[in-house]
Amino acid sequence: MKLSLFILFFSFVLIGFGQNPDGFDNMCKGYIKGTVALAKPTQLKFEMSKNADVVILDAREKKEYEVSHIKGAKFIGYDEFKIENVKDISKDSKVYVYCSIGYRSEKIGEKLEKDGFTKVYNLYGGIFNWANSGYPLENDKGLPTKAVHGFDKKWGQWLNEEKCKKVLK
């Protein structure tokens, strides 16, 4: 069993390398300060495969979430985020927060930790990194999609169009 989990995890790690456009990591490092523990997409994918109780929060805006989101993600927004919107989540749950690249989710993660959440992770590179790694997304109807809201042309450049479909609207 442990060997199977190791092989599964190692496979996720290998899939996650080399999928992002040049400069993606440097761009992320310019915005993400590391004030909340970082998790790579491989870690979240592995966690989802073994733990049905993992909590995933989407800290983007509603129009971004409606284009696509990680399966099971709860929309919490960014500009309108209120801590009351997560009162139904145990403060001891593993909580993964994401946005487009990790900046907004880091700010929400800081608020969660300040409110007493003990296991908060910011998805490094956000949904862009997740999609660029080829991991599954669903639309607002719960159907599989390759579409990702790129926000605008400047931010959309960080989406790998071989792995996903960039939506700018």
**Tokens (6 digits) for 24:** 């993606």
Q: Is 28 a catalytic residue?
A: no
Other CB atoms within a 10 A radius of the CB of residue 115 amount to 12
* Catalytic residue, candidates 73, 99, 159, 164: 99
Based on DSSP, count helices (H) and strands (E) in the chain, helices before strands.
Answer: 7, 9
The amino acid occupying position 9 is: F
Q: Which pair of tokens denotes residue 45?
A: 């994918």
Of residues 72, 80, 124, the one with CA closest to residue 103: 124
Residues found in the chain: 169
Residue 59 phi, psi dihedral angles, 5° rounding: -100, 25
Backbone φ and ψ of 167, nearest 5°:
-120, 125
**What whole-number distance in Å separates Cα of residue 132 and Cα of residue 167?**
14
Q: What are the catalytic residues?
A: 99
